Structure 1
Amino acid sequence: MQKVLVIAYYWPPAGGPGVQRWLKFVKYLPDFGVQPLVYVPENPNYPIVDTALLNEIPTQVEVLKHPIKEPYGWAALVSKKKTKSISSGLIKEMNPSFLERALLWIRGNFFIPDARKLWIKPSIHFLARTIAEEGIQTIITTGPPHSLHLIGLGLKQRYNVQWIADFRDPWTTIGYHKQLRLTRWAEKKHKKLEKQVLVTADKIVVTSQTTKTEFEAITPKPIKVITNGYDEQLQAVPLDDTFTISHIGSLLTGRNPLGLWKALKELVEQDSAFAKALQIQLAGVVGDEVWQSITMFGLDSFVERLGYLSHDRVVEVQQKSQVLLLLEIDSEETKGIIPGKLFEYLNAKRPILAIGPKGWEAGEMVDSSQAGSFVDPKEVEAIKDVLLEWFNQYQKGNLFCQSVGIEKYHRRALTESLVKFI
């Protein structure tokens, strides 16, 4: 059986979407003749923890660990709350404090490509023996954090191995780069490292066609689109009695769906039955500016704050909801962002209301799979029309979703595609 070394930062007990991709790949790789060894930090600073995911680590998988030094631990001595927020990517977009601006500037200009850079050299040294003793011929790095690709770069320069760089998100074109207050020198450094990784890696995996097209302009190396996916075999559960519209995951200022709030406000005012049945469920971190908008539109009494949920509970909420909400920032640079939750939404087989920029890959996937409706954020009347149609079906007890062609997004099928690429 071929051995593959997977180098990852997010691993159980880490929570959130970053951990799911390789936890599931590792689960199915042995089915296709590949034995994975997983290398992760011994003492990581995970902003979100979900201990239930520890039970999903396959027993036959060997997990290697090595200590990591992270500056977030030092910065927490100044402000633990703000440091955790920045560590998790939950950066205020309106009126950040002086301390937040300072921490972002330090993060962006002193820790390139990211705050896990201190793990690069120790990891290269630590993994040298593993590569020799285990006969490793293929290594896979997954980022962000993109520091892990620099571990792959160092190993590739020293050993005769195949290196595959997996990009769960883009590097220099990701939206939050603008918030890091990068100097020109730092921007050039990021671009240089990105190009070095892309032209040195033997093969590259991305999660969207948009990112593939972007990278093809930088490197001639083979690039494969392998999206995220779903895994759970779901049992039928009763739907919510109320007309629940549920959003899973962080909902910060950039994704604040003002058009949706306006549409809901008008529907509530125009239709007493709609107002009586409506319940908006928000699971995950919700930004202050979003709460302000909800209050401004008079929707407070319709909102249930679920907070952070374990992955098992997320799956349950998705299945029981009447409508699932998928949101993206309305900008050119987010068109290739395909949230991991989309695939679990598809698996839940509940109608998806996708609100995002024109040409958004995720929204087009919702349309093509007949899993819901994709609407422009500014088209308030179109949002109202969709919700009113679904509400009428809900009242009749026949609000269902018969999505088509989603089997290709099952984690096992995606793993088969990965193995062929390896």
Structure 2
Amino acid sequence: MKKVLVITYYWPPAGGPGVQRWLKFVKYLRDFNVEPIVYIPKNPNYPLVDESFLKDIPEGITIYSHEILEPYRWAKLFSRKKTKRISAGIINTKDQSFIEKILLWVRGNLFVPDARKFWVGPSVKFLRNIIDKEQISSIITTGPPHSVHLIGLRLKQIMPINWIADFRDPWTTIGYHKKLKLSSFAAQKHKRLESKVLNSADKIIVTSATTKKEFTTLTEQPITVITNGFDRGVGQKKILDVKFTISHIGSMLSGRNPTNLWKVLSELLNQDKAFKKALHLRFIGVVSDEVLSSLSHYGLQDNLELVGYVSHHEALAFQDKSQILLLAEIDSFETQGIIPGKLFEYMAAKRPILAIGPKGWEVGAIINETNAGCIFEYTDEIELKNVLLSWFEQYKKGELTISSSGIETYSRRELTRKLSELI
């Protein structure tokens, strides 16, 4: 059985989508004759914690860890809430306080590529001995944080190893990169580091075809697309909500504010008393003040339920019983290649997906290919209204279902099969 060292910052009990990708790969790699060995920080500062992920760690797996210096711990002395949001990549661009501006400038210009850069040097020194001890010939780094890739870069420079760099998100073209108040020096340093990683890794993995297209202009190294996926039964029979529930799972931030949807729902409320009585908007996770203001502006506050952050297990239960699952992405060119991990779990829930995002959003191709729902741009209103009316009529008859197909290729186990072939 071939050994591979997986170097990752996010690992249980970390919560959120970042931890799931490599937790699930590690869970299934043994099925394909690959023995994963995992390296993680000993004392990380995770913005979200979800103990339920601990049960997915394979029994007997070898896990090494080393201490990490976390500047975000110091930043909490100034503002715990703002530091937590910046750590999670949530950056408010409106009405920033003086402290928030300072924190962003420091994050963007003193911590390149990110605040976990201090883990690189100690990790390289520590892992040299581990690689020799375990007789490891292949390593995998996954980012963000992209400083993890610098561990792979340095190890590649001093040892004869095969290095695979996995990009869960792009580096310099990610949406929040422009908000970091970068100096020209810091911006160029990001570019240089990105180029070094892309041209030094033996193989590169990305989560979308858009990112692959972008990276092919920066490197000639082989690039493989392996999306995120789901790890659960498909379309399990569940008791659905009595109400006409439209649920959104995850952070509904200011940039993901589909005002065209709120407007259409408001019109339907005013036109149809039955629709007004049945509609139930449910948000599981963080909802920005701007989104809440928009919902109030369109008179939807009485149809609203704010659940807050829940465990992954609880989130799946909410998905299964919802009538419709809402997926929204920021309306910008930079987000065309962002494929949220929850898309695939939505697909596994076998409930109609209502997706609203930028023109050319890669999610649209997946939804259309699998017939898992409908996708709209932020300017669409008439067709959006027609689809909602159609779904509402089906709901009233107890016939609101989805006839999706081909989603099994997005199961975590099948995706791990593809990864094992690459290793």
Shorter-chain TM-score tier: over 0.9
Matches within 5 A, 1:32-71: 32-71=32-71
Q: Aligned residue for 1:271?
A: 272
Letter in 1 for 2:52: A
For the residues of structure 2 that align with 1:151 and 1:371, how far apart are their CA atoms?
39
CA contact (8 A) 2:11 2:19 kept: yes
Letter in 2 for 1:197: V
What SS does the aligned partner of 2:165 have?
strand
Matched, 1:173 2:173: yes
Q: Aligned residue for 1:111?
A: 111
Letter in 1 for 2:88: S
What SS does the aligned partner of 2:79 have?
helix
Letter in 2 for 1:314: A
CA contact (8 A) 1:355 1:363 kept: no
Letter in 1 for 2:224: K
CA contact (8 A) 2:114 2:147 kept: yes
Matches within 5 A, 1:21-420: 21-233=21-233, 235-420=236-421
Q: Which consecutive aligned stretches of 4+ in structure 1 deviate over 3 angstroms post-superposition?
A: none
Unmatched runs of 5 consecutive residues or more in structure 1: none
TM-score, normalised on structure 2? 0.99
For the residues of structure 1 that align with 2:404 and 2:157, how far apart are their CA atoms?
46
Letter in 2 for 1:264: L
TM-score, normalised on structure 1? 0.99
Q: Deviations over 1:85-106 (max 9, x none)?
A: 2111222132111111110011
Q: Deviations over 1:160-208 (max 9, x none)?
A: 0000000000000000011101111111000000000000000000000
Letter in 2 for 1:393: Q
Seq. identity, %: 60
Letter in 2 for 1:385: N
CA contact (8 A) 1:364 1:374 kept: no
Q: CA deviation at 1:326?
A: 0.7
Q: CA deviation at 1:138?
A: 0.3
Letter in 1 for 2:71: P
Letter in 1 for 2:58: P
What SS does the aligned partner of 2:145 have?
coil
CA contact (8 A) 1:349 1:401 kept: yes
Aligned residues: CA RMSD: 0.8
Q: Name the stretch that deviates more: 318-327 or 93-102.
A: 93-102
Unmatched runs of 5 consecutive residues or more in structure 2: none
CA contact (8 A) 2:78 2:99 kept: no
Letter in 1 for 2:178: K
